Structure 1
Amino acid sequence: MMRPLSIAASLALLLAAFSATAQDPAPAAATPATAAQAAAKGDAARGKGLTYTCRGCHGLTGYKNAYPSYHVPMIGGQSETYLLNALNEYRTGKRKHPTMQAQAQSFSEQDLADIAAYLSSLK
Protein backbone atom coordinates (compact mmCIF):
# COMPACT_ATOMS: atom_id res chain seq x y z
CA MET A 1 0.00 0.00 0.00
CA MET A 2 1.34 3.44 -0.91
CA ARG A 3 1.39 6.28 1.61
CA PRO A 4 -0.26 9.49 0.43
CA LEU A 5 2.06 12.44 -0.14
CA SER A 6 2.11 15.25 2.38
CA ILE A 7 0.45 18.48 1.32
CA ALA A 8 3.82 20.20 0.92
CA ALA A 9 5.17 17.36 -1.23
CA SER A 10 2.02 17.34 -3.34
CA LEU A 11 2.24 21.10 -3.88
CA ALA A 12 5.91 20.89 -4.78
CA LEU A 13 5.20 18.21 -7.39
CA LEU A 14 2.25 20.15 -8.78
CA LEU A 15 4.26 23.36 -9.01
CA ALA A 16 7.22 21.60 -10.61
CA ALA A 17 4.95 20.03 -13.24
CA PHE A 18 3.13 23.31 -13.90
CA SER A 19 6.36 25.27 -14.06
CA ALA A 20 7.88 22.82 -16.54
CA THR A 21 4.89 23.16 -18.90
CA ALA A 22 4.17 26.87 -18.39
CA GLN A 23 7.62 28.34 -18.92
CA ASP A 24 8.12 30.33 -22.10
CA PRO A 25 11.70 29.91 -23.26
CA ALA A 26 13.56 33.11 -24.16
CA PRO A 27 14.19 33.59 -27.87
CA ALA A 28 17.48 32.05 -28.98
CA ALA A 29 18.80 35.42 -30.20
CA ALA A 30 18.10 37.19 -26.90
CA THR A 31 21.08 38.66 -25.14
CA PRO A 32 21.35 38.44 -21.34
CA ALA A 33 20.34 42.11 -21.05
CA THR A 34 17.19 41.68 -23.15
CA ALA A 35 16.26 38.46 -21.36
CA ALA A 36 16.60 40.23 -17.99
CA GLN A 37 14.53 43.16 -19.24
CA ALA A 38 11.80 40.78 -20.45
CA ALA A 39 11.72 39.01 -17.08
CA ALA A 40 11.55 42.35 -15.25
CA LYS A 41 8.16 43.13 -16.84
CA GLY A 42 5.56 41.06 -15.04
CA ASP A 43 2.18 40.00 -16.44
CA ALA A 44 -0.35 40.34 -13.61
CA ALA A 45 -3.01 38.30 -15.44
CA ARG A 46 -0.62 35.36 -15.81
CA GLY A 47 0.64 35.86 -12.25
CA LYS A 48 -2.87 35.41 -10.86
CA GLY A 49 -2.88 31.77 -11.97
CA LEU A 50 0.60 31.19 -10.58
CA THR A 51 -0.39 32.37 -7.09
CA TYR A 52 -2.87 29.56 -6.54
CA THR A 53 -0.72 27.86 -3.88
CA CYS A 54 0.24 31.16 -2.23
CA ARG A 55 -3.33 31.56 -1.06
CA GLY A 56 -3.15 28.44 1.10
CA CYS A 57 -0.84 30.08 3.64
CA HIS A 58 -1.01 33.77 2.83
CA GLY A 59 -4.80 33.68 2.36
CA LEU A 60 -5.07 36.65 0.04
CA THR A 61 -8.83 36.91 0.50
CA GLY A 62 -9.13 38.62 3.87
CA TYR A 63 -5.51 37.62 4.67
CA LYS A 64 -6.69 34.55 6.59
CA ASN A 65 -3.93 32.24 7.63
CA ALA A 66 -4.26 28.47 7.37
CA TYR A 67 -1.84 28.17 10.31
CA PRO A 68 -3.07 30.56 13.02
CA SER A 69 -0.20 29.70 15.38
CA TYR A 70 2.57 31.36 13.33
CA HIS A 71 2.98 34.58 11.41
CA VAL A 72 2.56 34.57 7.65
CA PRO A 73 3.07 38.01 6.10
CA MET A 74 0.44 39.83 4.09
CA ILE A 75 1.65 39.80 0.49
CA GLY A 76 -1.31 41.29 -1.40
CA GLY A 77 -0.66 44.94 -2.19
CA GLN A 78 3.05 44.82 -1.34
CA SER A 79 5.49 46.63 -3.63
CA GLU A 80 6.30 44.70 -6.82
CA THR A 81 10.01 45.32 -6.24
CA TYR A 82 9.81 44.08 -2.64
CA LEU A 83 7.97 40.90 -3.67
CA LEU A 84 10.37 40.15 -6.52
CA ASN A 85 13.39 40.72 -4.27
CA ALA A 86 11.91 38.51 -1.52
CA LEU A 87 11.14 35.68 -3.96
CA ASN A 88 14.65 35.87 -5.41
CA GLU A 89 16.16 35.84 -1.92
CA TYR A 90 14.19 32.68 -1.09
CA ARG A 91 15.34 31.16 -4.37
CA THR A 92 19.02 31.85 -3.63
CA GLY A 93 18.79 30.84 0.04
CA LYS A 94 19.46 34.33 1.40
CA ARG A 95 16.06 34.09 3.13
CA LYS A 96 15.50 30.85 5.02
CA HIS A 97 12.11 29.14 4.97
CA PRO A 98 11.97 25.62 3.48
CA THR A 99 8.49 25.96 1.97
CA MET A 100 9.17 29.37 0.46
CA GLN A 101 12.55 28.27 -0.85
CA ALA A 102 10.92 25.30 -2.60
CA GLN A 103 8.17 27.51 -3.98
CA ALA A 104 10.56 30.16 -5.33
CA GLN A 105 12.90 27.56 -6.85
CA SER A 106 10.03 25.95 -8.74
CA PHE A 107 9.34 29.10 -10.79
CA SER A 108 11.18 30.74 -13.68
CA GLU A 109 12.38 34.35 -13.52
CA GLN A 110 9.38 35.35 -15.65
CA ASP A 111 7.03 33.46 -13.32
CA LEU A 112 8.42 35.39 -10.33
CA ALA A 113 7.98 38.70 -12.17
CA ASP A 114 4.39 37.74 -13.06
CA ILE A 115 3.63 36.72 -9.46
CA ALA A 116 5.06 39.98 -8.11
CA ALA A 117 3.06 41.98 -10.67
CA TYR A 118 -0.20 40.28 -9.68
CA LEU A 119 0.28 40.41 -5.92
CA SER A 120 1.32 44.07 -6.01
CA SER A 121 -1.87 44.90 -7.92
CA LEU A 122 -4.11 43.70 -5.07
CA LYS A 123 -5.56 46.29 -2.73
Structure 2
Amino acid sequence: MKNEERLEKGECKLRILPVQDALEILSGKWKLPIIIALLHGVKRFSEISKEVTGITDRMLSKELRDLEMNHLVKRTVYDTFPVTVEYTMTEYGETLKDVIGALYDWGKNHRIKVFNFDKEPENIEK
Protein backbone atom coordinates (compact mmCIF):
# COMPACT_ATOMS: atom_id res chain seq x y z
CA MET A 1 0.00 0.00 0.00
CA LYS A 2 1.32 3.46 -0.82
CA ASN A 3 2.24 5.65 2.14
CA GLU A 4 -0.30 8.34 1.19
CA GLU A 5 -3.06 5.69 1.16
CA ARG A 6 -2.28 4.46 4.64
CA LEU A 7 -4.45 5.76 7.43
CA GLU A 8 -2.76 7.82 10.09
CA LYS A 9 -2.38 6.05 13.42
CA GLY A 10 -5.76 6.21 15.16
CA GLU A 11 -7.63 7.39 12.06
CA CYS A 12 -9.00 3.91 11.42
CA LYS A 13 -10.54 3.88 14.89
CA LEU A 14 -12.09 7.30 14.24
CA ARG A 15 -13.69 5.91 11.09
CA ILE A 16 -14.96 2.79 12.85
CA LEU A 17 -16.66 4.53 15.80
CA PRO A 18 -19.45 6.31 13.86
CA VAL A 19 -20.23 3.10 11.97
CA GLN A 20 -20.40 1.19 15.26
CA ASP A 21 -22.75 3.86 16.64
CA ALA A 22 -25.03 3.56 13.60
CA LEU A 23 -25.05 -0.23 13.77
CA GLU A 24 -25.86 -0.16 17.48
CA ILE A 25 -28.90 2.07 16.88
CA LEU A 26 -30.13 0.13 13.83
CA SER A 27 -29.13 -3.37 14.94
CA GLY A 28 -31.42 -6.24 15.64
CA LYS A 29 -34.03 -8.11 13.70
CA TRP A 30 -36.80 -5.53 13.92
CA LYS A 31 -35.56 -1.93 13.79
CA LEU A 32 -34.95 -1.70 10.05
CA PRO A 33 -38.30 -3.31 9.12
CA ILE A 34 -40.06 -0.88 11.47
CA ILE A 35 -38.20 2.06 9.98
CA ILE A 36 -39.03 0.91 6.45
CA ALA A 37 -42.72 0.64 7.37
CA LEU A 38 -42.70 4.15 8.82
CA LEU A 39 -40.81 5.61 5.86
CA HIS A 40 -43.96 4.74 3.88
CA GLY A 41 -46.13 6.99 6.03
CA VAL A 42 -47.74 7.64 9.40
CA LYS A 43 -48.94 4.44 11.03
CA ARG A 44 -50.79 3.30 14.11
CA PHE A 45 -49.30 0.58 16.29
CA SER A 46 -51.58 -2.13 14.85
CA GLU A 47 -50.66 -1.15 11.28
CA ILE A 48 -46.96 -1.47 12.02
CA SER A 49 -47.59 -4.80 13.73
CA LYS A 50 -49.34 -6.13 10.61
CA GLU A 51 -46.65 -4.88 8.23
CA VAL A 52 -43.71 -6.18 10.26
CA THR A 53 -44.61 -9.84 10.10
CA GLY A 54 -43.67 -11.96 13.11
CA ILE A 55 -42.99 -9.21 15.64
CA THR A 56 -44.74 -9.44 19.00
CA ASP A 57 -46.56 -6.42 20.41
CA ARG A 58 -44.15 -6.36 23.34
CA MET A 59 -41.09 -6.29 21.05
CA LEU A 60 -42.67 -3.69 18.76
CA SER A 61 -43.37 -1.47 21.75
CA LYS A 62 -39.76 -1.82 22.96
CA GLU A 63 -38.27 -1.11 19.54
CA LEU A 64 -40.52 1.92 18.99
CA ARG A 65 -39.41 3.31 22.37
CA ASP A 66 -35.75 2.81 21.38
CA LEU A 67 -36.29 4.51 18.03
CA GLU A 68 -38.12 7.37 19.74
CA MET A 69 -35.32 7.72 22.30
CA ASN A 70 -32.84 8.06 19.41
CA HIS A 71 -34.99 10.78 17.78
CA LEU A 72 -35.80 8.66 14.73
CA VAL A 73 -39.51 8.15 15.42
CA LYS A 74 -42.16 10.49 16.79
CA ARG A 75 -45.07 9.18 18.86
CA THR A 76 -48.23 11.29 18.81
CA VAL A 77 -51.08 10.62 21.23
CA TYR A 78 -54.53 11.97 20.33
CA ASP A 79 -57.14 12.68 22.98
CA THR A 80 -59.84 10.45 21.56
CA PHE A 81 -61.81 7.58 22.99
CA PRO A 82 -60.21 5.15 22.78
CA VAL A 83 -56.87 6.94 22.72
CA THR A 84 -55.27 7.02 19.27
CA VAL A 85 -51.49 6.77 18.96
CA GLU A 86 -49.64 7.35 15.70
CA TYR A 87 -46.00 6.89 14.82
CA THR A 88 -44.07 8.74 12.17
CA MET A 89 -40.46 9.25 11.19
CA THR A 90 -38.89 12.44 12.45
CA GLU A 91 -37.07 14.75 10.07
CA TYR A 92 -33.86 13.26 11.47
CA GLY A 93 -35.20 9.74 10.92
CA GLU A 94 -35.99 10.61 7.31
CA THR A 95 -32.24 10.99 6.75
CA LEU A 96 -32.08 7.19 6.80
CA LYS A 97 -33.85 6.97 3.41
CA ASP A 98 -30.58 6.97 1.47
CA VAL A 99 -29.03 4.43 3.86
CA ILE A 100 -32.06 2.13 3.49
CA GLY A 101 -32.00 2.59 -0.29
CA ALA A 102 -28.30 1.70 -0.41
CA LEU A 103 -28.91 -1.39 1.75
CA TYR A 104 -31.81 -2.39 -0.51
CA ASP A 105 -29.68 -2.05 -3.66
CA TRP A 106 -26.78 -3.94 -2.11
CA GLY A 107 -29.05 -6.70 -0.78
CA LYS A 108 -30.77 -7.09 -4.13
CA ASN A 109 -27.41 -7.43 -5.91
CA HIS A 110 -26.16 -9.80 -3.22
CA ARG A 111 -29.18 -12.07 -3.72
CA ILE A 112 -28.46 -12.17 -7.44
CA LYS A 113 -24.76 -12.92 -6.92
CA VAL A 114 -24.98 -15.44 -4.09
CA PHE A 115 -28.34 -17.09 -4.66
CA ASN A 116 -28.29 -16.78 -8.46
CA PHE A 117 -31.60 -14.97 -8.51
CA ASP A 118 -31.95 -13.30 -11.88
CA LYS A 119 -34.74 -10.89 -11.00
CA GLU A 120 -35.89 -8.55 -8.28
CA PRO A 121 -37.85 -10.20 -5.45
CA GLU A 122 -41.59 -9.90 -5.89
CA ASN A 123 -43.78 -7.68 -3.73
CA ILE A 124 -40.90 -5.47 -2.59
CA GLU A 125 -41.15 -1.73 -2.89
CA LYS A 126 -38.13 0.46 -2.59
Tell me whether the two structures share a fold, i.e. TM-score over 0.5.
Answer: no
* TM-score for the superposition, normalised by structure 1: 0.31
Please state which structure has a larger fraction of its residues in strand: 2
Decide which structure has the larger Cα Rg and report it: 2
**RCO greater where, 1 or 2, for CA within 8 Å and sep 6 or more?**
1
